[in-house]
Amino acid sequence: MRASFQRFFRQLFSPREKQRVVVVAPVLLISLVQVFGAMGTPADSLSTGQLLSGALSSIAIPTLAIIASLFLNGGGFPVGDLHRPPMPIVQACRIGVAYGFGMIATLITFTLLQSFVLSRLGIEEGRQVVFTWLESPHYSKFVKSVLVADAVLIAPVLEEMMYRGVLFGTMAAHQRHFWLPAWIGGCYFALMHLHAEAFLPLLLFSLYTSYAYWKSGRIITPILMHVLYNVTSVLLWIT
């Protein structure tokens, strides 16, 4: 069993890329710490200070991992090694917007279909905790504005750098093909959100953004897609 795991690991990461593997491990650990730290905590039981300090730590800790990755990878993300040169930035942004709207339409359709199936099966869908916080009278408008800013601007940047730039990028740069790194990174990304009903939509989301990153070689492409998706989610919640 141990030998099989070692062979599988060597297939994902080359021994010559140990410095990249050193960065991936903290990314996975940081994700697990944040997730397990949030488990079992009712949304309204957090004080304003706890909520804001949690938001700040969720920004600061991944930022350190991303900076380490950039430093160890010579100032770029691994998947950029597959593109010589990467796509021009303007074209990468255009693709991000175009893919983003296409992804949103697909995910809305998929989510509605999934909700219909779950309702027919008598399964009640849960809600993501951020919307519970936004609807709670326990928190001020300032706190809620911070949460919205985090959701639509900060989280897309950090999550794409961590999950697409570091995790998927490291595996893809070694493997030189898309699907295995995309599925592994996508499943991990979906699991880290601890929302069972959203697992399949989040997996599909990750496959979309990973492909966009793979195609453009620019991390800005999946970041724009993520921003558009989160903005759409907030607008749908408001309406």
pLDDT of residue 25: 60
Query: Residue 67 has what pLDDT?
Result: 76
pLDDT category of residue 39 using cuts at 50, 70 and 90:
very low
Q: Is residue 44 part of a domain?
A: no
Q: Of the segments 4-8, 28-32, 192-196, which one has the largest average pLDDT value? A: 192-196
Domain count, the chain: 1
Interval 55-66 mean pLDDT: 72
Q: Is residue 40 pLDDT above 50, yes or no?
A: no
Give the span between the Cα atoms of 61 and 30, in whole angstroms: 7
Q: pLDDT per residue over 165-218, tens digit each?
A: 888 887 887 667 889 889 988 998 888 777 778 899 999 999 999 999 999 989
- What's the pLDDT at 80? 60
Residue-number span of the structural domain to which 170 is assigned: 87-238
Give the pTM: 0.81
- CA dihedral defined by 164, 96, 217, 159, rounded to 10 degrees? -20
